[in-house]
Amino acid sequence: MTPFDACVAALREHATKDALFKVLDKALADKVGHKLFTLLYVAPSGLRVKRIYTNMPKEYPVGGYKEITGSPWHQHVVEGRKPWIGYNAKDIAWAYFDHELIVSLGCESAMNIPVVYGGRLLGTMNLLDAAGHYKEADARTLEPFAALMVGPFLDAIAADPG
């Protein structure tokens, strides 16, 4: 079974969201690799995001909101709904306020894949790894996986009280 097929099967089996996200985590690790993997959805207000999955819960716990800012990264990923790849620690510092923690985890490259439905950004799949790990082609490889997350992200947004 391919990594994509495993994700489709998890969706069809009515797996819990956490079980589905773990299957996705493994699938993306198999496809392109990552040290840190998180999923963030855009709250109904459109002004903040919330983490719904992480493979490093101590460093990046599920829950809690982060305010959306008008940074160049925000313009590219959130407003532009385009994948972003950071290749080194300088790119990480440009994109993320918590870049020191990220680098301390051995992550000096990142890839953010938007989850989009009907032209609306629902959230992002976020993969981080060693410097130089990701390529432009990796973003195209992962876009079908982002499409599989539309339903789970819509469910998370619908359940959000704020």
Full-model pTM: 0.94
Whether the CB-CB separation of 98 and 28 falls below 8 Å is answered with no
Whether the CB-CB separation of 83 and 111 falls below 8 Å is answered with yes
d(CA 156, CA 162): 11
At 43 the pLDDT is: 86
Q: HEC string of 118-151?
A: CCEEEEEEEEEECCCCCCHHHHHHHHHHHHHCHH
CA atoms within 13 A on the CB side of 105: 22
At 162 the pLDDT is: 65
What the block records as the tokens of 139 is 């973003």
At 117 the pLDDT is: 96
Name 114's Cβ contacts closer than 8 Å, sequence gap at least 6: 77, 78, 81, 82, 83, 121, 123, 124, 146
Conformational region of residue 57, where left means phi above 0, alpha means psi within -120 to 50, and beta covers everything else: alpha
At 102 the pLDDT is: 96
At 128 the pLDDT is: 98
What residue ranges of the chain have pLDDT lower than 50? none
End-to-end alpha carbon distance in the chain = 39
